[in-house]
Structure 1
Amino acid sequence: MQALIGTGVALVTPFKADFSVDTEALCRIVNFSIDGGIEYLVILGTTAENATLSQDEKELVIKTVVDCNKGRLPLVLGVGGNDTRRIVEELKTRDFSDFIAILSVSPFYNKPTQEGIYQHFKAISEASPIPVIIYNVPGRTSSNMLPKTVLRLANDFENIVAVKEAAGDIVQAMQILKDKPKDFLVISGDDMIALPMVLAGGAGVISVIGQGFPKEFSEMIRLGLNRKVDDAFKLQYILSDCIDMIFEQGNPAGIKQVFEALGIADSFVRLPLVQVDESLSQRIAQFVKNTVK
């Protein structure tokens, strides 16, 4: 899965003032990411406000990105949730011809045991016609997929090809990196520690900030992969303040404010999320003004 090495971005779903999906803005974001050097695009991840999209809106988002991408970059589709049976049904019925892999989050709210998480992904692996990236984000799911579970899945199922590791714990990531099968990819799901994870042996990142600063962030990851450490950290320290800012009042409210400052898309989010406050909006706008040339 060489296509998953480098920087992927978890695309937002831009909205108009009436909170309908803004397909023109979404296409602008896709083009901006591609022009900036991103390696692949992730559709309908957490950052897409997937939880508040109707099924028809999800299909509209998929069609918009596929049509706008025009085959330029590999695409990954988010197919996950906390009802294993429903996910398996989708995997058996959806056309995945436009995608190289699915991204599937560890079950949320149910708080399964490690064995429950294993059995969930076992069912997904057996049903999926394309490779699977498992996704650990305990800050959202309330359960941590432990390294032993990730490694068990990586060793037991050939089509589970990667983990998006977003526990924010570099030590946990290193435990997986130390013992993983040779071709299994460890992808950062945390923008702030993406570079350290790459330097420890990670394959790259599925990023939020990468779509707002695609040129700088994707170059940072490429420098890290090529072991040009000093140059990579120069970019890390340029971007680090904004990485903090875009998560300060929640994702994707922060990154949508970046897009508004760039003039690419409005910053509307759907309840229960709200837009960032005026203070943070001004700080983000100033950062964008000072950074984007």
Structure 2
Amino acid sequence: MTKFIGTGVALITPFNADLSIDFNALEQLVEYNIANGTDYLVISGTTGESVTVTAEEKKQLIKFICNINKGRLPIVVGIGGNNTANIIAEIKATDFSEIDGILSVSPYYSKPTQEGIYQHFKAIAKVAPKPIILYNVPGRTSSNMSPETTFRLAKDFDNIVAVKEAGNNVHQYLELLRTKPKDFLVLSGDDDLALGVALAGGSGVISVIGQALPKEFSEMIRLGIAGKAKEAYDIHYKLMPITGMIFSENNPSGIKAVLEGLNISKSHVRLPLVEATDKLKNIIKNELNLLGKS
């Protein structure tokens, strides 16, 4: 699954002041990423505010981005949740003609056992027409998908090809990399750990900050995958401050503040999220100035 190696970006959903989707800003964001080295696009992840985007809006987003992209980059769509039957129904109702993969989060809130997580993804794998990237994010789901469960799924289902690991747990990353099947991809879901994961044998990242600084971030990951640690860390250290800033209040309010500072989109978010504070926006603006980006 070489199309998922490198830097994928978890796209925001830009909003107008009335909280309708800002398609003009979305087009600018997609073109900006295509032009600056992003390897693939991820639609309707957490960063896209998937939980407050309606089913109809999600269809509009997918169609719009596919029309803008015109096959230039692979596209992954987030289809996940804690109602297995609903996920299966959504997969069956989705047009995958221009979609390359599915990102599916481990069930949240319900806190299933490892067997429950396995059975959930087994049911999804049986109906999914495209490769599946599992998504483990314990901080949001309140349960951890163990490496054993991940690799049990990878072994049993050929269309489960990767895991986006976002537990900010270095030991678990290393355990995944140590024991993974040969062609299975371990992708970082933690921007701050992405380079270390790449250098340790990972296949890349699905990034938040990457969509704002795609040229620098994607080059860092390419260098990391190639084992060029010194050159990669030179970039990593430059990006460290702003990477920490975007998660200091909530995601995606932080990244939306960065994109506003870059004049790509506005910082509007839907409740229960709130916009980044003026204090954070000013800190981000100053950091963009230091990076020569504003």
Q: What fraction of aligned residue pairs are identical, expressed as a percent?
A: 56
1:168 is matched by which residue type in structure 2? N
Counterpart in the other structure of 2:169:
169
- The offset of 1:227, in angstroms, is 1.0
- Quote the offset at 1:292 in angstroms: 3.5
Q: TM-score, normalised by structure 2?
A: 0.98
**Matched position secondary structure for 2:15:** coil
In structure 1, distance between residues paired with 2:292 and 2:259: 12
- The CA distance in 1 between the partners of 2:62 and 2:200, in whole Å, is 34
Report the equivalent of 2:95. Answer: 95
Aligned partner letter, 1:57: E
SS of the residue corresponding to residue 248 of structure 1 reads coil
SS across alignment from 2:272: coil
The code of the aligned residue for 2:44 comes to L
Q: Which residue of 2 aligns with 1:52?
A: 52
Residue 39 of structure 1 aligns with an amino acid whose one-letter code is D
How far apart, in 1, do the equivalents of 2:27 and 2:292 lie?
A: 20
Supply the RMSD in Å over aligned alpha carbons: 0.8
Alignment of 1:228-267 (within 5 A): 228-267=228-267
Tell me the distance in 2 between the aligned counterparts of 1:97 and 1:66.
Answer: 10
Q: Secondary structure at the match of 1:163?
A: strand
Task: Spell out, residue by residue over 1:114-133, the C-alpha distance to the aligned partner (whole angstroms, 9 max, x if none).
Answer: 00000000001111011100
Please list, as runs of the form range in 1=range in 2, the aligned pairs for 1:1-293 lying within 5 A after superposition.
Answer: 1-293=1-293
How many Å separate the matches in 1 of 2:15 and 2:100?
Answer: 27
Distance in 2 between residues matched to 1:92 and 1:273, nearest whole Å? 31
Q: Deviations over 1:120-155 (max 9, x none)?
A: 000011110111000000010000001111111111
Report Cα offsets for 1:258-280 as digits up to 9, x if no partner.
Answer: 01100110000011101111111
Query: Quick one: which amino acid aligns to residue 225 of structure 2?
Result: L
CA 1:292 to 1:65, structure 2 compared with 1: closer, same or farther past 3 Å?
A: farther
Separation of aligned partners in 2, 1:39 and 1:64 = 19
Deviations 1:148-192 (A, max 9, x none): 111111111111000000000111011111111100000000000
Are the structure 2 counterparts of residues 143 and 271 from structure 1 closer, same or farther at C-alpha, using a change threshold of 3 Å? same
Q: Which amino acid aligns with 1:38?
A: T
Deviations 1:175-211 (A, max 9, x none): 1111111000000000000000111110000000000
**TM-score, with length taken from structure 1:** 0.99
The alpha-carbon deviation at position 289 of structure 1 amounts to: 1.7
Report the 3-state secondary structure (helix = DSSP H, G, I; strand = E; otherwise coil) of the residue aligned with 1:239: helix
Q: How far apart, in 2, do the equivalents of 1:60 and 1:100 lie?
A: 17
| SS class of match (1:231) | helix
The 2-side partners of 1:14 and 1:4 are apart by 24
CA distance in 2, matches of 1:90, 1:265: 29
What is the identity, as a one-letter code, of the residue corresponding to 1:204? G
AA in 2 matched with 1:165: E
CA distance in 1, matches of 2:146, 2:25: 38
Displacement after TM superposition at 1:93 (Å): 2.5
How many angstroms does 1:97 deviate by? Answer: 1.0
Q: Give SS of 1:28's match.
A: helix
AA aligned to 1:174 is: L
Residue 64 of structure 1, CA deviation: 1.6
Q: Distance in 1 between matches of 2:196 and 2:175?
A: 14
Larger deviation, residues 55-64 vs 179-188: 55-64
Gaps of 5+ in 1: none
